[in-house]
Amino acid sequence: MKKLIMISFLIVMQSAYSQDSLAIKKKPEELPAKKNPLDIGDLKINLNPAGDKWIKFALSSQIWLRSIENNPGTMVNGVPQDQTYDAGIRRMRLTIQSQITPFYSIYFQVGTNNESFISGGGTGTGATGAGKRAPFFIHDAYNELAIIPRNNFQTGKPNKNNIYIGAGLHSWNGVSRLSNGSSVKMLAGDLPVFNFPTIEVADQFSRQFGAFVHGEFNKLNYRFSINKPFATNLTPAIGGGAVDNNKSGKLSYAGYIYYQFFNKEVTANAFLAGNNLATKKVLNLGAGFYFNKQSTLTQPLKDVFESHNTNIMGTDIFAELPIGNKNKEMGLTLYSVYYNYNYGPNYLRLSGVLNPGTVDPGFKGETALEGAGNNRVLMGTGSIWFSQAGFVLPKFSNILKVQPFFNYALKNLKALNEPGSYFDAGINFYLYGQNTKVVAQYSNRPLYNPTTKMIFDRKGEYLLSLQIVL
């Protein structure tokens, strides 16, 4: 895997050098006049001459190549394995956004996630082989009405304040910026996942059905929603921790606000960028929440059940700072967030993205609380502090930008007897802005003993991610 990452690095560098060389050799009259080579533009069709009725398309693809150090006692496809090489589709999306009238718009996104050689299977799982024909499902589907639009419909000038309302399957989430994070403008190879507090339990890939309002009041950006969570019905073990069970059917409430000290961001959709290559000076301070009554269940005694509320708070800071000579296009991106989670007593979730492993019943050594494959402690009742930083190196090419980055998460959860540190380190290679991105990343995670709930080992994972966005 290390050789694969090095080869990919050399290919990217050679491509950038070749493109620059060609550009130098061309005569001036052969080059496009006044065209930014990084500007690919939108896939947009105007439906009237004024341009206030339109339909816009977006395509994105993230392909992963990995080398995984498996947790002890892992089988892959029925064979014990300490290390696994795999390839998969992390995300593949088609987005359609349309403004039907100046006041009314729709947003629709479909796609697939997490298909590898052994996981993500839909109708193909079984006799035709594991992992084949993964489901293609709806991510977002909502309608939106402009009460006060971003731009005045008559003059076209920006309004100081704006407000929009909408309803449907949406991702106008609460808690933090990262809980509303864009999956195509990430700083690292992936989002940390614990930023979505009900991911794939009471939501559908971080979306819930409901109504929302969002907008701006001068430099204060806000979003609030009332939703109907997806149904959960897990049965807790006697004397065990809380599990997801919202049979009482209570609504959930979420909100997130942030103050923009410098440049303002345009929120034409729900997703907030984690990385804009520090092209503009940005400093945002935010806070948010998520609340769902009677959403989890414990069984302190046999046939005695107690319901618990989910109550999550987050506060964060996001900064992008251009540095030095503008011609060098250097910049620093920083983000830090503190989460306080309360799902009920000793609630704990374990998960591994694109996990290829299953438990080996014949394994005789020390096993991990996390289970098999690349499973890790994801989140639970307690707190998580997460920070990341990236730096765009000085410009040396008209085609390529390079950005090293580092992530760190400290998880202090009630069900464990020791806090755990998780980190990722890597380099982003950007070709034509953020439309094409190659990520080389190493991640490291702790493993907990299932009895002592203390850390006894650590495992790593190498990732090469190939991303295209149009």
- pLDDT of 108 reads 97
- pLDDT of 422 reads 98
Q: List pLDDT tens digits, range 160-183.
A: 899 999 999 999 999 999 999 999
Round to the nearest angstrom and report the end-to-end CA distance of the chain: 28
The set of residues, in sequence order, having a beta carbon less than 8 Å from that of 239 and lying 6+ positions away, is 299, 300, 301
Q: Is 85 exposed, middle or buried (0-12, 13-18, 19+ CB in 10 A)?
A: middle
Q: Which amino acid is at 186?
A: M
Q: What is the dihedral of CA 325, 316, 276, 143, to 10 degrees?
A: -150
* Fold exhibited by the domain 2-469: Porin (2.40.160)
Cα distance between residue 310 and residue 289, in whole Å:
10
- pLDDT of 129 reads 66
- pLDDT of 119 reads 83
Cα 40–43–45 angle (5° rounding)? 135
The DSSP call for residue 250 is -
The tokens for 425 are 């380190």
- pLDDT of 136 reads 87
Cα distance between residue 275 and residue 333, in whole Å:
7
Query: How is the chain split into domains, by residue range?
Result: 2-469
Residue showing tokens 């080992």 = 457
Kindly provide the b/e burial profile for residues 325-356, where b requires at least 16 CB atoms within 10 angstroms of the residue's own CB: eeeebbbebbbebbbebbbbbbbbbbbbbbbb
- pLDDT of 310 reads 98
- pLDDT of 131 reads 78
pTM of the predicted model as reported, rounded to 2 decimal places: 0.90
Cα distance between residue 425 and residue 222, in whole Å:
32
Report helix, strand or coil for 21: helix
- pLDDT of 120 reads 80
Q: List pLDDT tens digits, range 342-360.
A: 999 999 999 999 999 999 9
The DSSP call for residue 20 is H
Residue showing tokens 């991105």 = 437
Residue showing tokens 């966005």 = 469
Q: Which of 267, 259, 262, 263 is nearest to 285 (CA)?
A: 259
Report helix, strand or coil for 460: strand
CB atoms < 10 A from the CB of 27, how many? 6
H or E segment at 402? strand 400-413
Residue showing tokens 């309302």 = 165
CB atoms < 10 A from the CB of 74, how many? 28
**What is the DSSP pairing of strand 104-116 with strand 83-101?**
antiparallel
Cα distance between residue 71 and residue 458, in whole Å:
9
- pLDDT of 258 reads 98
Q: List pLDDT tens digits, range 265-290.
A: 989 999 999 999 999 999 999 999 99
- φ/ψ (deg, to 5) at 140: -125, 140
| Residue numbers of the chain with a pLDDT score lower than 50 | 4-5, 7-36
| 368, 447 Cβ separation under 8 angstroms | yes
- pLDDT of 31 reads 34
- pLDDT of 32 reads 38
Q: Is 362 exposed, middle or buried (0-12, 13-18, 19+ CB in 10 A)?
A: exposed
| 174, 143 Cβ separation under 8 angstroms | no
Cα distance between residue 376 and residue 366, in whole Å:
16
Cα distance between residue 247 and residue 252, in whole Å:
13
